[in-house]
Amino acid sequence: MSNLRSNIPLAERLRPQRLKEYIGQSHLIGEQGVFRRFIESGNVPSFILWGPPGVGKTTLARLVATALDRRMFTLSAVTSGVKDVREVIEQARKAHFFNTPPPFLFIDEIHRFNKSQQDSLLGAVEQGIVTLIGATTENPSFEVISPLLSRCQVYVLKAMTDTELQELLDRAITEDTELKQRKITVEQTGALFGFAGGDARKLLNILDIITGAHEGDITITDELVTESLQQNIALYDKNGEQHYDVISAFIKSVRGSDPNAAIYYLARMLAGGEDPKFIARRLVILASEDIGLANPNGLLLANACFDTVQKIGMPEARIPLAETTIYLATSPKSNSAYMAINEALRAVEHDTNNRPVPLHLRNAPTKLMEKLDYGKNYKYAHDYEGHFANLEFMPEGLEGHTFYHPADNPKEQELSKRISYLWQGKYDK
């Protein structure tokens, strides 16, 4: 039995079986957390768990299903197609009896499902055949289709703090069936927590490597951790633990205007078997979020790259990916559009006034609307010199409010001058 157990990774041996064993995410599972209410009421909507790897998304889904004694079907978006989705939905339909809660359908890495795969889920979610639980490391606003996203609550999971990693480390050493039989002393945790980077699974994998490479008593120091990982780097990355680190480094290198580092991390991803379409999607997002109005051609090139990658595939796709990566990395940067829409969304979400659209901006398709002054005094811009008519477009109470703040680059400074000239300083703040 002992030999059999030794083949089970530490992360799997320590996977929580009850909610009280779960470490972290107190904002979700604490006394007032939404997941506590789910389990107490049994009323669980479809939801998506968004957070970095190794923070317990899969475990949390399993714990909810176990606590409510409800069946959970599981699919991985990496290996499953539309046919697999339909087969599972049919099984769920047969398992769903009258007046009983629907089974859960857990989809890991749901961001990797394409539109047709996500479309195949819609009907089952709408009809209540399944309660969908998705797990993603990517922003679902970008990766999940709107009709599906609108039917799901999104809950954000956070990377584990050093305090939580310490709690997990203590539990591993004192409660794991194998590790508690050995004398393990922890003198330093800097390297251990540094390499883990808030990822519980990564922490336990590192501990697995260290304990597997040494016999007898072990004293964990920063030097021991660093040496062990350098000697076992292939084992350390065997489950793609550095996969997300490389993606993050790639994005930050492009944003940071370092084409050499960006190309290096692009090569790392391609050599590691990353889906080139995933990289192309990231470049489209980067072009919008980080290059933006400083160089609008960046988005055109990124879109062309995405289309080209879909058409030609690997290995040739590496060339347009490299071209676009270098272009975006060397381009001037601006996140002004990204900041503007975020600021406007915050204003809309927190504005309880439900401000009416000014009458002169409304259409008047009926005589009654025309009598009510819909469209009255509207000025058609093209009828005026310079195709501009000085008119108030903001609703009452927001006159002169500025959401877009041009960044300090040549293109946007031109836009800033034009806005100032047209609006005679109205938005100069």
Query: Domain boundary at 194, 212, 236, which?
Result: 236
Q: Is residue 167 part of a domain?
A: yes
Which residue, among 251, 287, 286, has the nearest Cα to 269 in the 3D structure? 251
Residue 13 lies in a domain: no
Residue 1 lies in a domain: no
Task: Give residue 242's pLDDT.
Answer: 59
Cα separation, 352 vs 348, whole angstroms: 8
CA distance 88 to 80: 11
- Regarding whether 145 and 41 lie in a shared domain, the answer is yes
Partners of residue 156 on adjacent β-strands: 50
419 shares its domain with 388:
yes
- Within a domain: residue 343? no
pLDDT of residue 79: 81
Confidence of residue 39 (pLDDT cuts 50, 70, 90): confident
CB under 8 Å to 71, separation ≥6 — which residues? 65, 95, 103, 104
Tell me, yes or no, whether 122 lies in a domain: yes
CATH code (residue 367)? 1.10.3710
Same domain for 388 and 281? no
Q: Are residues 304 and 411 in the same domain?
A: no
pLDDT of residue 429: 67
Provide the number of structural domains found in the chain: 4
Residue 241 is predicted with a pLDDT of 47
Burial label for 427, CB within 10 Å (0-12, 13-18, 19+), is: middle
- The predicted pLDDT at position 20 comes to 85
* E strand or H helix that includes residue 104: strand 104-108
3-state secondary structure of 379: coil
Range of the domain at 313: 243-330
Q: What is the H or E stretch that residue 261 is in?
A: helix 259-271
Give the pLDDT band of residue 325 (cuts 50, 70, 90): very high
pLDDT band at 2 (very low <50, low <70, confident <90, very high): very low
Angle between helices 115-126 and 82-95 (to 10 degrees): 10
Same-domain pairing of 215 and 252 = no
C-alpha 372/C-alpha 365 separation (Å) is: 12
Q: Is residue 124 part of a domain?
A: yes
Record the pTM. 0.58
What CATH number has the domain bearing residue 88? 3.40.50.300
- Domain endpoint, select from 140, 156, 172: 156
Looking at residues 192-200, what average pLDDT do you find?
Answer: 86
pLDDT, tens digit (0-9, with 9 covering 90-100), for 212-257: 888 888 899 988 888 887 665 544 444 444 566 788 889 999 999 9
* Residues 154, 149: Cα–Cα separation, whole Å: 8
294 and 204 inside one domain? no
Residues 264 and 383 in one domain: no
Same domain for 147 and 29, yes or no, is: yes
Taking all residues of the chain, what is their mean pLDDT, rounded to a whole number? Answer: 87
Asked if residue 273 and residue 209 are part of one domain, the reply reads: no
Q: Is 333 exposed, middle or buried (0-12, 13-18, 19+ CB in 10 A)?
A: buried
Which range, of 8-17, 233-242, 299-308, 419-428, averages the lowest pLDDT? Answer: 233-242
265-284 pLDDT per residue, tens: 999 888 877 888 889 999 99
Q: Which residue has the higher pLDDT, 354 or 303?
A: 303
151 in the same domain as 38: yes
CATH number of the domain enclosing 229: 1.10.8.60
Is the same domain home to 187 and 281?
no
- Residues 407 and 427: their CA atoms lie apart, in Å, by 14
Return the percentage of the chain with pLDDT > 90, whole number.
Answer: 35
Residue with tokens 């606590």: 67
- Tell me, yes or no, whether 7 lies in a domain: no
**Which residue would you say has higher pLDDT here, 12 or 287?**
287
325: domain CATH number is: 1.20.272.10
Q: What is the pLDDT of residues 93-121, one digit of tens each?
A: 887 776 788 899 999 989 888 888 888 89
Which of 197, 219, 236 terminates a domain? The answer is 236
Looking at the structure, tell me whether residues 135 and 68 fall in a common domain.
yes
